[in-house]
């Protein structure tokens, strides 16, 4: 699922989010490394919500 979704996400968002994606994934990894499941959950949740919003905006722009 993830392997297939990354190219799609890059295409939909026009590569605008490279640094944001790196930062949010680092936040998740750091929380896991710190053995903090609450922080890991929150970081991943925020990452997914942000991505969902960007995909919605990207698909809306493409349909206009």
Lookup: tokens for 11: 């295409």
Give the domain range for residue 25.
15-63
Query: Looking at the domain assignment, is residue 33 inside a domain?
Result: yes
Query: Looking at the domain assignment, is residue 57 inside a domain?
Result: yes
- Kindly state the average pLDDT of the residues 40-60: 86
Q: Chain-centre distance of CA 31, in angstroms?
A: 16
Please tell me the distance from the alpha carbon of residue 55 to that of residue 59, in angstroms, as a whole number: 6
Query: Looking at the domain assignment, is residue 23 inside a domain?
Result: yes
Query: Looking at the domain assignment, is residue 31 inside a domain?
Result: yes
On whether the CB atoms of residues 14 and 33 are closer than 8 A, the answer is no
Query: Looking at the domain assignment, is residue 2 inside a domain?
Result: no
Lookup: tokens for 32: 């896991």
Query: Looking at the domain assignment, is residue 9 inside a domain?
Result: no
- State yes or no: pLDDT of 28 exceeds 80: yes
Query: Looking at the domain assignment, is residue 52 inside a domain?
Result: yes
Q: 3-class SS at 16? A: coil
Query: Looking at the domain assignment, is residue 5 inside a domain?
Result: no
pLDDT digit string (tens) for 10-26? 776 666 677 788 888 89
């Amino acid at each position: 699922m993830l392997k297939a979704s990354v190219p799609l996400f890059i295409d939909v968002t026009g590569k605008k989010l490279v640094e944001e994606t790196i930062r949010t994934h680092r936040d998740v990894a750091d929380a896991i490394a710190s053995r903090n499941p609450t922080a890991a959950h929150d970081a991943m949740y925020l990452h997914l919500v942000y991505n969902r919003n960007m995909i919605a905006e990207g698909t809306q722009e493409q349909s206009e």
